[in-house]
Chain A
Amino acid sequence: MLIALNAVLGRELKKTFRQKSRLLASMVRPMIWLFVIGGGVGSIMPDDSHQNYQDAIIPGILGMTLLFGSMLSALSTVYDKESGVMRMLIISPMPSYAVILSKLASSTLAGLLQIIMLCVLLFALQKLHFNQINWTLFIFSLCLTAIACAALGLITAVVSKSLDNFAAIMNFVIFPVFFLSGALYPVDNLPTILHWIAVANPFTYGVDLIKHSIAITQESTDFPLHVDALVLGAFSIVAIGFASWKFTQESTLATLINKLTGGKR
Protein backbone atom coordinates (compact mmCIF):
# COMPACT_ATOMS: atom_id res chain seq x y z
CA MET A 1 0.00 0.00 0.00
CA LEU A 2 2.84 2.39 0.88
CA ILE A 3 4.69 1.55 -2.32
CA ALA A 4 1.53 2.26 -4.29
CA LEU A 5 0.98 5.59 -2.53
CA ASN A 6 4.59 6.50 -3.12
CA ALA A 7 4.22 5.69 -6.82
CA VAL A 8 1.07 7.81 -7.14
CA LEU A 9 2.60 10.80 -5.36
CA GLY A 10 5.92 10.46 -7.18
CA ARG A 11 4.10 10.57 -10.49
CA GLU A 12 2.24 13.75 -9.48
CA LEU A 13 5.55 15.44 -8.54
CA LYS A 14 7.19 14.48 -11.82
CA LYS A 15 4.23 15.68 -13.84
CA THR A 16 3.96 19.01 -12.04
CA PHE A 17 7.54 19.95 -12.77
CA ARG A 18 7.52 18.56 -16.29
CA GLN A 19 4.55 20.54 -17.54
CA LYS A 20 6.28 23.91 -17.42
CA SER A 21 3.64 25.87 -19.32
CA ARG A 22 0.88 24.61 -17.04
CA LEU A 23 2.99 25.47 -14.04
CA LEU A 24 3.60 28.97 -15.41
CA ALA A 25 -0.14 29.40 -16.10
CA SER A 26 -0.94 28.38 -12.56
CA MET A 27 1.28 31.22 -11.34
CA VAL A 28 0.03 33.82 -13.83
CA ARG A 29 -3.64 33.34 -12.87
CA PRO A 30 -3.24 34.44 -9.21
CA MET A 31 -0.99 37.32 -10.27
CA ILE A 32 -3.68 38.61 -12.64
CA TRP A 33 -6.25 38.44 -9.86
CA LEU A 34 -3.96 40.10 -7.37
CA PHE A 35 -2.79 42.98 -9.54
CA VAL A 36 -5.62 43.45 -12.04
CA ILE A 37 -8.71 42.70 -9.93
CA GLY A 38 -7.02 43.65 -6.68
CA GLY A 39 -5.71 46.87 -8.23
CA GLY A 40 -8.82 47.62 -10.26
CA VAL A 41 -11.44 47.05 -7.60
CA GLY A 42 -9.11 48.59 -5.04
CA SER A 43 -8.96 51.79 -7.10
CA ILE A 44 -12.69 52.45 -6.75
CA MET A 45 -12.34 52.34 -2.99
CA PRO A 46 -11.40 55.34 -0.83
CA ASP A 47 -7.72 56.22 -1.09
CA ASP A 48 -6.56 54.80 2.21
CA SER A 49 -8.16 51.39 1.64
CA HIS A 50 -6.69 50.96 -1.85
CA GLN A 51 -3.70 48.96 -0.66
CA ASN A 52 -5.90 47.18 1.86
CA TYR A 53 -8.08 45.52 -0.75
CA GLN A 54 -5.08 43.89 -2.40
CA ASP A 55 -3.92 42.62 0.96
CA ALA A 56 -7.42 41.48 1.84
CA ILE A 57 -7.78 39.21 -1.18
CA ILE A 58 -4.42 37.43 -0.70
CA PRO A 59 -6.05 34.59 1.30
CA GLY A 60 -8.73 34.38 -1.41
CA ILE A 61 -6.05 34.11 -4.06
CA LEU A 62 -4.17 31.44 -2.12
CA GLY A 63 -7.49 29.59 -1.81
CA MET A 64 -8.17 30.03 -5.51
CA THR A 65 -4.81 28.49 -6.40
CA LEU A 66 -5.68 25.46 -4.27
CA LEU A 67 -9.14 25.31 -5.80
CA PHE A 68 -7.80 25.29 -9.35
CA GLY A 69 -4.81 23.09 -8.54
CA SER A 70 -6.44 20.42 -6.41
CA MET A 71 -9.97 20.44 -7.72
CA LEU A 72 -9.03 20.42 -11.39
CA SER A 73 -6.53 17.65 -10.76
CA ALA A 74 -9.19 15.55 -9.02
CA LEU A 75 -11.80 16.31 -11.66
CA SER A 76 -9.61 15.72 -14.64
CA THR A 77 -8.62 12.18 -13.70
CA VAL A 78 -11.57 10.49 -15.19
CA TYR A 79 -12.13 12.54 -18.26
CA ASP A 80 -9.02 13.91 -19.92
CA LYS A 81 -5.97 12.36 -21.46
CA GLU A 82 -4.99 10.98 -18.11
CA SER A 83 -7.66 8.33 -18.50
CA GLY A 84 -4.80 5.99 -19.40
CA VAL A 85 -3.75 6.31 -15.78
CA MET A 86 -7.27 5.63 -14.59
CA ARG A 87 -7.20 2.42 -16.61
CA MET A 88 -4.00 1.42 -14.81
CA LEU A 89 -5.60 2.23 -11.46
CA ILE A 90 -8.81 0.27 -11.97
CA ILE A 91 -7.00 -2.89 -13.07
CA SER A 92 -4.44 -2.69 -10.25
CA PRO A 93 -5.01 -4.86 -7.17
CA MET A 94 -5.84 -1.75 -5.14
CA PRO A 95 -9.38 -1.74 -3.76
CA SER A 96 -11.65 0.93 -5.27
CA TYR A 97 -11.59 3.10 -2.15
CA ALA A 98 -7.79 3.12 -2.31
CA VAL A 99 -8.00 4.39 -5.87
CA ILE A 100 -10.10 7.30 -4.58
CA LEU A 101 -7.73 7.94 -1.67
CA SER A 102 -4.65 7.88 -3.87
CA LYS A 103 -6.33 10.30 -6.23
CA LEU A 104 -7.18 12.50 -3.25
CA ALA A 105 -3.57 12.41 -2.07
CA SER A 106 -2.10 13.30 -5.44
CA SER A 107 -4.65 16.04 -6.11
CA THR A 108 -3.94 17.54 -2.70
CA LEU A 109 -0.25 17.42 -3.50
CA ALA A 110 -0.85 19.07 -6.89
CA GLY A 111 -2.52 22.04 -5.18
CA LEU A 112 0.09 22.29 -2.44
CA LEU A 113 2.99 22.32 -4.94
CA GLN A 114 1.40 25.28 -6.69
CA ILE A 115 0.80 27.05 -3.41
CA ILE A 116 4.46 26.64 -2.39
CA MET A 117 5.59 28.34 -5.57
CA LEU A 118 2.96 31.05 -5.25
CA CYS A 119 4.12 31.77 -1.69
CA VAL A 120 7.72 32.10 -2.86
CA LEU A 121 6.52 34.56 -5.50
CA LEU A 122 4.42 36.53 -3.00
CA PHE A 123 7.36 36.78 -0.60
CA ALA A 124 9.60 37.98 -3.43
CA LEU A 125 7.02 40.62 -4.37
CA GLN A 126 6.70 41.66 -0.72
CA LYS A 127 2.98 40.90 -0.75
CA LEU A 128 3.44 38.43 2.10
CA HIS A 129 5.79 38.93 5.01
CA PHE A 130 7.44 36.15 6.97
CA ASN A 131 6.80 37.63 10.40
CA GLN A 132 3.12 38.34 9.70
CA ILE A 133 2.32 34.68 9.34
CA ASN A 134 1.33 32.19 11.99
CA TRP A 135 3.20 29.37 10.28
CA THR A 136 1.65 26.39 12.03
CA LEU A 137 -1.84 27.67 11.34
CA PHE A 138 -0.86 28.77 7.82
CA ILE A 139 0.40 25.31 6.83
CA PHE A 140 -2.55 23.63 8.55
CA SER A 141 -5.07 25.85 6.80
CA LEU A 142 -3.50 25.36 3.36
CA CYS A 143 -3.36 21.57 3.75
CA LEU A 144 -6.93 21.34 5.00
CA THR A 145 -8.22 23.61 2.23
CA ALA A 146 -6.30 21.60 -0.38
CA ILE A 147 -7.86 18.37 0.90
CA ALA A 148 -11.33 19.93 0.89
CA CYS A 149 -10.86 21.22 -2.68
CA ALA A 150 -9.62 17.81 -3.86
CA ALA A 151 -12.58 16.16 -2.13
CA LEU A 152 -14.96 18.60 -3.82
CA GLY A 153 -13.38 17.66 -7.15
CA LEU A 154 -13.76 13.95 -6.42
CA ILE A 155 -17.45 14.31 -5.57
CA THR A 156 -18.05 16.24 -8.77
CA ALA A 157 -16.14 13.59 -10.72
CA VAL A 158 -18.08 10.64 -9.29
CA VAL A 159 -21.56 12.14 -9.53
CA SER A 160 -21.41 13.90 -12.87
CA LYS A 161 -21.93 12.09 -16.11
CA SER A 162 -21.85 15.02 -18.46
CA LEU A 163 -19.21 17.34 -17.03
CA ASP A 164 -16.69 16.06 -19.47
CA ASN A 165 -15.37 19.26 -20.88
CA PHE A 166 -13.22 21.91 -19.37
CA ALA A 167 -15.54 24.83 -20.10
CA ALA A 168 -18.51 23.15 -18.41
CA ILE A 169 -16.44 22.35 -15.34
CA MET A 170 -15.14 25.92 -15.16
CA ASN A 171 -18.57 27.52 -15.58
CA PHE A 172 -20.69 25.22 -13.48
CA VAL A 173 -18.34 24.19 -10.71
CA ILE A 174 -15.16 26.15 -10.23
CA PHE A 175 -16.34 29.71 -10.91
CA PRO A 176 -19.45 29.45 -8.69
CA VAL A 177 -17.42 27.92 -5.88
CA PHE A 178 -14.85 30.69 -6.17
CA PHE A 179 -17.16 33.69 -6.62
CA LEU A 180 -19.80 32.54 -4.14
CA SER A 181 -17.33 32.41 -1.29
CA GLY A 182 -15.54 34.88 0.92
CA ALA A 183 -12.52 34.93 -1.42
CA LEU A 184 -13.09 38.39 -2.90
CA TYR A 185 -15.36 40.07 -0.34
CA PRO A 186 -16.34 39.58 3.28
CA VAL A 187 -19.30 37.22 3.58
CA ASP A 188 -21.06 39.49 6.10
CA ASN A 189 -21.59 42.34 3.63
CA LEU A 190 -23.16 40.17 0.95
CA PRO A 191 -26.87 40.47 0.00
CA THR A 192 -28.98 37.84 1.80
CA ILE A 193 -29.18 35.18 -0.90
CA LEU A 194 -25.50 35.40 -1.78
CA HIS A 195 -24.70 35.42 1.90
CA TRP A 196 -26.45 32.11 2.48
CA ILE A 197 -24.90 30.51 -0.56
CA ALA A 198 -21.47 31.61 0.64
CA VAL A 199 -22.16 30.23 4.12
CA ALA A 200 -23.11 26.89 2.59
CA ASN A 201 -19.96 26.82 0.45
CA PRO A 202 -17.15 24.88 2.13
CA PHE A 203 -14.55 26.84 0.19
CA THR A 204 -15.61 29.96 2.15
CA TYR A 205 -14.30 28.33 5.33
CA GLY A 206 -11.00 27.43 3.66
CA VAL A 207 -10.38 31.05 2.71
CA ASP A 208 -11.49 32.16 6.16
CA LEU A 209 -9.08 29.73 7.80
CA ILE A 210 -6.22 31.11 5.72
CA LYS A 211 -7.27 34.64 6.74
CA HIS A 212 -6.85 33.60 10.39
CA SER A 213 -3.24 32.66 9.80
CA ILE A 214 -2.13 35.98 8.29
CA ALA A 215 -1.85 39.00 10.59
CA ILE A 216 -3.25 41.65 8.19
CA THR A 217 -6.37 39.71 7.36
CA GLN A 218 -7.01 38.28 10.80
CA GLU A 219 -9.48 41.02 11.66
CA SER A 220 -11.58 40.56 8.53
CA THR A 221 -12.43 36.91 9.23
CA ASP A 222 -16.09 35.89 9.12
CA PHE A 223 -16.09 32.86 11.43
CA PRO A 224 -14.15 31.72 14.49
CA LEU A 225 -11.09 29.58 13.81
CA HIS A 226 -12.58 26.36 15.21
CA VAL A 227 -15.74 26.70 13.11
CA ASP A 228 -13.62 26.95 9.95
CA ALA A 229 -11.53 23.92 10.89
CA LEU A 230 -14.56 21.85 11.90
CA VAL A 231 -16.61 22.68 8.82
CA LEU A 232 -13.69 21.96 6.48
CA GLY A 233 -12.72 18.78 8.30
CA ALA A 234 -16.29 17.49 8.46
CA PHE A 235 -16.92 18.37 4.83
CA SER A 236 -13.75 16.59 3.72
CA ILE A 237 -14.54 13.43 5.66
CA VAL A 238 -18.12 13.28 4.41
CA ALA A 239 -17.07 14.10 0.84
CA ILE A 240 -14.29 11.49 0.77
CA GLY A 241 -16.59 8.92 2.34
CA PHE A 242 -19.31 9.69 -0.16
CA ALA A 243 -16.91 9.65 -3.12
CA SER A 244 -15.44 6.29 -2.03
CA TRP A 245 -18.90 4.82 -1.47
CA LYS A 246 -20.20 6.10 -4.79
CA PHE A 247 -17.07 4.98 -6.61
CA THR A 248 -17.41 1.42 -5.36
CA GLN A 249 -21.02 1.20 -6.51
CA GLU A 250 -21.53 -1.18 -9.37
CA SER A 251 -23.31 1.40 -11.56
CA THR A 252 -20.55 4.02 -11.18
CA LEU A 253 -17.79 1.52 -11.89
CA ALA A 254 -19.60 0.10 -14.90
CA THR A 255 -20.09 3.58 -16.37
CA LEU A 256 -16.45 4.42 -15.74
CA ILE A 257 -15.16 1.17 -17.18
CA ASN A 258 -17.29 1.50 -20.27
CA LYS A 259 -16.08 5.05 -20.72
CA LEU A 260 -12.44 4.05 -20.27
CA THR A 261 -12.59 1.02 -22.48
CA GLY A 262 -14.64 2.46 -25.30
CA GLY A 263 -17.70 0.37 -24.46
CA LYS A 264 -20.95 1.36 -26.07
CA ARG A 265 -23.10 1.38 -22.98
Chain B
Amino acid sequence: MILAKNITKEYGEQIAVNNLSLDIPQGQFFGLLGPNGSGKTTTIHMLSTLIKPTSGSISVNGIDVQKGPQTVRESIGLVFQESALDRTLSIEENLYFCAGLHNISKKSAGPRVNELLELFELQSKKNATVGSLSGGMRRAVDIIRGVLHAPKVLFLDEPTVGLDLPSRRRIWRFIKQLIDEQQLTVVLTTHYLEEAAPCDNVAFIKGGSIVSEGAPEKLIDQLGKTIIEVNGPDTNALIERLELKTYEYMIEGGVLLIRIKDYETNKLDVIQSTLRGKADAISVRKSNLNDVFLWLSSNDHGLK
Protein backbone atom coordinates (compact mmCIF):
# COMPACT_ATOMS: atom_id res chain seq x y z
CA MET B 1 0.00 0.00 0.00
CA ILE B 2 2.65 2.53 1.10
CA LEU B 3 6.23 1.84 0.20
CA ALA B 4 8.97 4.34 0.97
CA LYS B 5 12.53 3.54 0.00
CA ASN B 6 15.48 5.43 1.48
CA ILE B 7 13.75 8.78 1.56
CA THR B 8 15.75 11.79 2.65
CA LYS B 9 14.62 15.38 3.04
CA GLU B 10 17.16 18.15 3.36
CA TYR B 11 16.41 21.79 4.09
CA GLY B 12 19.69 23.41 3.20
CA GLU B 13 22.24 22.09 5.68
CA GLN B 14 19.60 20.58 7.89
CA ILE B 15 18.53 16.99 7.38
CA ALA B 16 14.91 16.57 8.46
CA VAL B 17 14.49 12.96 7.36
CA ASN B 18 17.48 10.71 6.83
CA ASN B 19 17.40 7.60 4.63
CA LEU B 20 14.08 6.36 5.97
CA SER B 21 12.28 3.30 4.61
CA LEU B 22 8.75 2.16 5.37
CA ASP B 23 6.49 -0.63 4.17
CA ILE B 24 2.89 -0.30 5.29
CA PRO B 25 0.55 -3.01 3.96
CA GLN B 26 -3.10 -2.41 3.12
CA GLY B 27 -5.47 -2.19 6.07
CA GLN B 28 -2.72 -1.60 8.58
CA PHE B 29 -3.02 0.89 11.41
CA PHE B 30 0.48 2.34 11.52
CA GLY B 31 1.91 4.74 14.08
CA LEU B 32 4.86 7.03 13.47
CA LEU B 33 6.13 8.10 16.87
CA GLY B 34 8.85 10.38 18.07
CA PRO B 35 9.66 13.61 19.85
CA ASN B 36 8.86 17.03 18.37
CA GLY B 37 11.17 17.92 15.52
CA SER B 38 12.12 14.29 14.89
CA GLY B 39 10.79 14.37 11.31
CA LYS B 40 7.34 12.77 11.74
CA THR B 41 5.40 15.53 10.07
CA THR B 42 7.96 15.92 7.28
CA THR B 43 7.68 12.17 6.64
CA ILE B 44 3.87 12.34 6.52
CA HIS B 45 4.03 15.29 4.15
CA MET B 46 6.32 13.35 1.83
CA LEU B 47 4.13 10.23 1.95
CA SER B 48 1.06 12.36 1.21
CA THR B 49 2.65 14.11 -1.84
CA LEU B 50 2.74 17.57 -0.23
CA ILE B 51 6.51 17.85 -0.30
CA LYS B 52 9.04 16.07 -2.46
CA PRO B 53 11.84 14.05 -0.93
CA THR B 54 15.36 15.22 -1.74
CA SER B 55 16.15 11.62 -2.64
CA GLY B 56 14.50 8.22 -2.44
CA SER B 57 11.21 6.96 -3.80
CA ILE B 58 7.67 6.62 -2.48
CA SER B 59 4.74 4.73 -3.90
CA VAL B 60 1.18 4.83 -2.60
CA ASN B 61 -1.34 2.32 -3.98
CA GLY B 62 1.32 1.27 -6.44
CA ILE B 63 1.57 4.78 -7.89
CA ASP B 64 4.86 6.66 -7.77
CA VAL B 65 4.24 9.82 -5.75
CA GLN B 66 6.63 11.86 -7.91
CA LYS B 67 5.00 10.82 -11.18
CA GLY B 68 1.33 11.09 -10.27
CA PRO B 69 0.86 13.28 -7.19
CA GLN B 70 -2.68 14.24 -8.30
CA THR B 71 -3.73 10.60 -8.80
CA VAL B 72 -2.27 9.70 -5.43
CA ARG B 73 -4.16 12.53 -3.77
CA GLU B 74 -7.46 11.15 -5.03
CA SER B 75 -6.93 8.03 -2.95
CA ILE B 76 -5.57 9.55 0.24
CA GLY B 77 -7.07 11.68 2.99
CA LEU B 78 -5.05 13.98 5.21
CA VAL B 79 -5.91 15.49 8.56
CA PHE B 80 -3.41 18.18 9.51
CA GLN B 81 -2.42 19.29 12.98
CA GLU B 82 -4.39 22.43 12.29
CA SER B 83 -7.90 22.43 10.93
CA ALA B 84 -8.44 22.60 7.18
CA LEU B 85 -11.91 24.07 7.19
CA ASP B 86 -13.56 27.40 6.40
CA ARG B 87 -14.64 28.74 9.77
CA THR B 88 -17.29 31.01 8.28
CA LEU B 89 -19.16 28.21 6.53
CA SER B 90 -21.38 25.58 8.15
CA ILE B 91 -20.31 21.97 8.65
CA GLU B 92 -22.40 20.84 5.71
CA GLU B 93 -21.19 23.64 3.43
CA ASN B 94 -17.59 22.81 4.27
CA LEU B 95 -18.10 19.15 3.44
CA TYR B 96 -19.82 19.86 0.13
CA PHE B 97 -17.11 22.39 -0.72
CA CYS B 98 -14.49 19.75 -0.05
CA ALA B 99 -16.41 17.17 -2.09
CA GLY B 100 -16.46 19.70 -4.93
CA LEU B 101 -12.68 20.07 -4.76
CA HIS B 102 -12.51 16.31 -5.27
CA ASN B 103 -14.79 16.68 -8.26
CA ILE B 104 -17.72 15.01 -6.50
CA SER B 105 -21.06 16.75 -7.10
CA LYS B 106 -23.27 17.74 -4.18
CA LYS B 107 -25.83 15.16 -5.25
CA SER B 108 -23.47 12.20 -5.27
CA ALA B 109 -21.71 13.31 -2.06
CA GLY B 110 -25.03 13.61 -0.17
CA PRO B 111 -25.45 10.04 1.12
CA ARG B 112 -21.85 9.79 2.29
CA VAL B 113 -21.97 13.19 4.01
CA ASN B 114 -25.08 12.10 5.92
CA GLU B 115 -23.62 8.72 6.79
CA LEU B 116 -20.45 10.29 8.19
CA LEU B 117 -22.32 13.03 10.06
CA GLU B 118 -24.37 10.25 11.64
CA LEU B 119 -21.26 8.25 12.56
CA PHE B 120 -19.61 11.28 14.14
CA GLU B 121 -22.84 12.33 15.90
CA LEU B 122 -22.91 15.70 14.16
CA GLN B 123 -26.18 15.37 12.22
CA SER B 124 -27.98 17.87 14.47
CA LYS B 125 -25.14 20.43 14.15
CA LYS B 126 -24.75 20.30 10.40
CA ASN B 127 -25.92 23.89 9.89
CA ALA B 128 -23.71 25.37 12.59
CA THR B 129 -20.72 27.39 11.38
CA VAL B 130 -17.40 25.68 11.99
CA GLY B 131 -16.13 28.71 13.91
CA SER B 132 -18.83 28.21 16.54
CA LEU B 133 -17.89 24.59 17.27
CA SER B 134 -15.75 23.31 20.14
CA GLY B 135 -12.22 22.17 19.33
CA GLY B 136 -13.23 18.52 19.57
CA MET B 137 -16.17 18.87 17.20
CA ARG B 138 -14.08 20.86 14.74
CA ARG B 139 -11.53 18.08 14.74
CA ALA B 140 -14.32 15.56 14.12
CA VAL B 141 -15.44 17.61 11.09
CA ASP B 142 -11.82 17.70 9.94
CA ILE B 143 -11.67 13.91 10.04
CA ILE B 144 -14.95 13.62 8.13
CA ARG B 145 -13.40 15.95 5.56
CA GLY B 146 -10.38 13.67 5.40
CA VAL B 147 -12.40 10.54 4.58
CA LEU B 148 -15.23 12.15 2.60
CA HIS B 149 -13.91 11.07 -0.80
CA ALA B 150 -13.54 7.46 0.45
CA PRO B 151 -9.74 7.39 0.40
CA LYS B 152 -7.84 4.15 0.77
CA VAL B 153 -5.25 5.71 3.07
CA LEU B 154 -5.88 8.20 5.84
CA PHE B 155 -3.01 10.24 7.26
CA LEU B 156 -3.62 11.60 10.75
CA ASP B 157 -0.99 14.09 11.89
CA GLU B 158 -1.42 14.53 15.66
CA PRO B 159 -5.21 14.25 15.40
CA THR B 160 -5.88 14.95 19.07
CA VAL B 161 -3.27 17.61 19.82
CA GLY B 162 -4.71 20.42 21.93
CA LEU B 163 -7.92 18.60 22.85
CA ASP B 164 -9.13 17.80 26.35
CA LEU B 165 -9.35 14.20 27.50
CA PRO B 166 -13.08 13.57 26.85
CA SER B 167 -12.72 15.03 23.33
CA ARG B 168 -9.65 12.92 22.68
CA ARG B 169 -11.52 9.78 23.71
CA ARG B 170 -14.45 10.67 21.49
CA ILE B 171 -12.19 11.33 18.50
CA TRP B 172 -10.53 7.95 19.05
CA ARG B 173 -13.88 6.18 19.28
CA PHE B 174 -14.73 7.70 15.88
CA ILE B 175 -11.39 6.82 14.33
CA LYS B 176 -11.69 3.21 15.50
CA GLN B 177 -15.21 2.97 14.08
CA LEU B 178 -13.89 4.34 10.80
CA ILE B 179 -11.05 1.83 10.71
CA ASP B 180 -13.47 -1.03 11.41
CA GLU B 181 -16.11 0.05 8.93
CA GLN B 182 -14.12 1.47 6.04
CA GLN B 183 -11.12 -0.86 5.88
CA LEU B 184 -8.77 2.08 5.81
CA THR B 185 -5.03 2.03 5.94
CA VAL B 186 -4.23 4.60 8.61
CA VAL B 187 -0.92 6.36 9.21
CA LEU B 188 -0.87 8.16 12.53
CA THR B 189 1.63 10.47 14.16
CA THR B 190 1.17 11.29 17.81
CA HIS B 191 3.12 12.01 20.90
CA TYR B 192 0.36 10.76 23.18
CA LEU B 193 1.84 7.29 23.12
CA GLU B 194 -1.07 5.53 24.81
CA GLU B 195 -3.01 6.44 21.67
CA ALA B 196 -0.61 4.37 19.60
CA ALA B 197 -1.17 1.22 21.67
CA PRO B 198 -3.94 -0.07 19.35
CA CYS B 199 -1.66 0.30 16.29
CA ASP B 200 -0.75 -2.86 14.39
CA ASN B 201 2.75 -1.53 13.94
CA VAL B 202 4.68 1.47 15.14
CA ALA B 203 7.99 3.05 14.19
CA PHE B 204 9.95 5.30 16.53
CA ILE B 205 11.72 8.05 14.69
CA LYS B 206 14.55 10.13 16.05
CA GLY B 207 16.66 12.67 14.23
CA GLY B 208 14.93 11.77 10.97
CA SER B 209 15.67 8.03 11.13
CA ILE B 210 13.74 5.06 12.39
CA VAL B 211 15.37 3.77 15.56
CA SER B 212 12.92 0.99 16.34
CA GLU B 213 10.00 -0.60 14.57
CA GLY B 214 7.49 -3.35 15.23
CA ALA B 215 4.20 -4.26 16.90
CA PRO B 216 3.71 -2.33 20.15
CA GLU B 217 3.61 -5.55 22.23
CA LYS B 218 6.82 -6.74 20.61
CA LEU B 219 8.62 -3.50 21.41
CA ILE B 220 7.40 -3.63 24.98
CA ASP B 221 8.64 -7.23 25.22
CA GLN B 222 12.04 -6.15 23.93
CA LEU B 223 12.23 -3.44 26.53
CA GLY B 224 11.10 -5.73 29.33
CA LYS B 225 7.59 -6.24 30.54
CA THR B 226 8.21 -4.92 34.03
CA ILE B 227 9.42 -1.56 35.25
CA ILE B 228 10.62 -0.89 38.77
CA GLU B 229 10.38 2.70 39.91
CA VAL B 230 12.65 3.67 42.76
CA ASN B 231 12.38 7.02 44.53
CA GLY B 232 15.57 8.62 45.96
CA PRO B 233 17.03 9.88 48.25
CA ASP B 234 20.34 9.45 46.39
CA THR B 235 19.65 7.76 43.06
CA ASN B 236 23.30 7.66 42.03
CA ALA B 237 24.29 5.81 45.18
CA LEU B 238 21.46 3.34 44.54
CA ILE B 239 22.65 2.76 40.99
CA GLU B 240 26.17 2.01 42.21
CA ARG B 241 24.89 -0.31 44.84
CA LEU B 242 22.84 -2.26 42.29
CA GLU B 243 25.72 -2.45 39.80
CA LEU B 244 23.37 -1.50 36.96
CA LYS B 245 24.48 -1.21 33.37
CA THR B 246 23.50 1.99 31.57
CA TYR B 247 20.96 0.41 29.25
CA GLU B 248 19.05 -1.22 32.10
CA TYR B 249 18.13 1.96 33.92
CA MET B 250 17.32 5.57 33.35
CA ILE B 251 16.56 8.51 35.58
CA GLU B 252 13.42 10.37 34.79
CA GLY B 253 12.36 13.33 36.89
CA GLY B 254 14.50 12.20 39.83
CA VAL B 255 12.98 8.72 39.72
CA LEU B 256 15.16 5.72 38.94
CA LEU B 257 13.52 3.42 36.39
CA ILE B 258 14.83 -0.13 35.96
CA ARG B 259 13.52 -2.42 33.25
CA ILE B 260 13.29 -6.14 33.76
CA LYS B 261 12.78 -8.83 31.14
CA ASP B 262 10.64 -11.91 31.61
CA TYR B 263 13.54 -14.24 32.29
CA GLU B 264 15.07 -11.86 34.80
CA THR B 265 12.38 -12.08 37.48
CA ASN B 266 14.98 -13.02 40.08
CA LYS B 267 16.39 -9.52 39.58
CA LEU B 268 13.24 -8.14 41.10
CA ASP B 269 13.96 -9.89 44.39
CA VAL B 270 17.62 -8.86 44.31
CA ILE B 271 16.73 -5.21 43.76
CA GLN B 272 14.10 -5.24 46.45
CA SER B 273 16.36 -6.87 49.04
CA THR B 274 19.38 -4.69 48.16
CA LEU B 275 17.43 -1.48 48.42
CA ARG B 276 15.46 -2.32 51.54
CA GLY B 277 15.76 0.63 53.89
CA LYS B 278 17.88 2.61 51.41
CA ALA B 279 15.18 3.89 49.06
CA ASP B 280 12.16 6.05 49.88
CA ALA B 281 9.76 4.01 47.81
CA ILE B 282 9.89 1.11 45.39
CA SER B 283 7.04 0.25 43.04
CA VAL B 284 6.62 -2.34 40.33
CA ARG B 285 4.44 -1.88 37.25
CA LYS B 286 3.89 -3.12 33.71
CA SER B 287 5.84 -1.30 31.03
CA ASN B 288 4.14 0.54 28.15
CA LEU B 289 4.96 2.44 24.97
CA ASN B 290 5.87 5.51 26.98
CA ASP B 291 8.71 3.55 28.53
CA VAL B 292 9.88 2.37 25.13
CA PHE B 293 9.83 5.96 23.97
CA LEU B 294 11.69 7.26 27.03
CA TRP B 295 14.38 4.64 26.70
CA LEU B 296 14.78 5.22 23.00
CA SER B 297 15.01 8.98 23.30
CA SER B 298 17.26 9.14 26.36
CA ASN B 299 19.53 6.23 25.72
CA ASP B 300 21.96 5.75 22.89
CA HIS B 301 22.19 2.05 23.64
CA GLY B 302 18.82 1.28 22.10
CA LEU B 303 16.81 -1.64 23.43
CA LYS B 304 19.44 -4.22 24.29
- Bound CA span A15–B42, Å: 33
- The answer to whether B70 has its CB under 8 Å from any CB of chain A is yes
Contact check: which of B82, B96, B104 meets A260 at CB < 8 Å?
B82
Residues A260 and B80 in contact in the complex (CB < 8 Å), given A84-B86, A88-B97, A91-B50? yes
Q: When the two chains form their complex, are residues A1 and B103 in contact, meaning their CB atoms are under 8 A apart? A: yes
- Shortest beta-carbon distance from B135 to chain A in Å: 14
8 A-B pairs with the lowest CB-CB distances in the bound complex, closest first: A7-B100, A87-B84, A92-B101, A93-B73, A93-B74, A91-B78, A84-B85, A88-B84
Q: When the two chains form their complex, are residues B48 and A91 in contact, meaning their CB atoms are under 8 A apart? A: yes
Contact check: which of A91, A92, A93, A263 meets B41 at CB < 8 Å?
A263
- Bound CA span A4–B89, Å: 17
Q: When the two chains form their complex, are residues B74 and A14 in contact, meaning their CB atoms are under 8 A apart? A: no
- The answer to whether A216 has its CB under 8 Å from any CB of chain B is no
- Bound CA span A263–B16, Å: 11
- Shortest beta-carbon distance from B232 to chain A in Å: 37
**Closest residue of A by beta carbon distance from B71:** A93
Residues of chain A within 8 A of B88, CB atoms compared:
15, 18-19
Q: When the two chains form their complex, are residues B84 and A91 in contact, meaning their CB atoms are under 8 A apart? A: yes
- The answer to whether A95 has its CB under 8 Å from any CB of chain B is yes
- The answer to whether A94 has its CB under 8 Å from any CB of chain B is yes
Residues of A within 8 A of B (CB): 1, 3-4, 6-8, 10-11, 14-15, 18-19, 81-82, 84-85, 87-95, 250, 253-254, 257, 260-265
Q: When the two chains form their complex, are residues A92 and B73 in contact, meaning their CB atoms are under 8 A apart? A: yes
Residues of chain A within 8 A of B96, CB atoms compared:
7
Q: When the two chains form their complex, are residues B97 and A92 in contact, meaning their CB atoms are under 8 A apart? A: no
Question: Given A85-B85, A92-B101, list of 11 further CB < 8 A pairs?
Answer: A1-B103, A4-B100, A7-B96, A11-B86, A15-B88, A88-B84, A92-B98, A250-B51, A257-B45, A261-B82, A264-B37
Residues of B within 8 A of A (CB): 11, 14, 16, 37, 41-42, 45, 48, 50-52, 70-71, 73-74, 78, 80-89, 93, 96-105, 145, 157
- Bound CA span A10–B93, Å: 10
**Closest residue of A by beta carbon distance from B72:** A93
Between-chain CB contacts (< 8 Å), 14 pairs: A1-B103, A3-B100, A6-B100, A8-B100, A14-B93, A15-B86, A81-B87, A84-B83, A84-B86, A88-B101, A250-B51, A261-B45, A261-B80, A264-B37
- Bound CA span A93–B50, Å: 11
Q: Which of A19, A85, A94 neighbours the largest number of chain B CB atoms within 10 Å of its CB?
A: A85
**Closest residue of B by beta carbon distance from A1:** B103
Q: When the two chains form their complex, are residues A84 and B50 in contact, meaning their CB atoms are under 8 A apart? A: no
Residues of chain B within 8 A of A253, CB atoms compared:
50-51
- Bound CA span A253–B50, Å: 8
Q: When the two chains form their complex, are residues B97 and A11 in contact, meaning their CB atoms are under 8 A apart? A: yes
Residues A94 and B70 in contact in the complex (CB < 8 Å), given A84-B86, A262-B81, A264-B37? yes
- Bound CA span A8–B74, Å: 18
Q: When the two chains form their complex, are residues A94 and B51 in contact, meaning their CB atoms are under 8 A apart? A: no
- Shortest beta-carbon distance from B120 to chain A in Å: 18
Q: When the two chains form their complex, are residues B85 and A88 in contact, meaning their CB atoms are under 8 A apart? A: yes
Q: When the two chains form their complex, are residues B101 and A89 in contact, meaning their CB atoms are under 8 A apart? A: yes
- Shortest beta-carbon distance from B10 to chain A in Å: 11
- Shortest beta-carbon distance from B84 to chain A in Å: 3
Contact check: which of B80, B93, B104 meets A87 at CB < 8 Å?
B80
Q: When the two chains form their complex, are residues B73 and A250 in contact, meaning their CB atoms are under 8 A apart? A: no
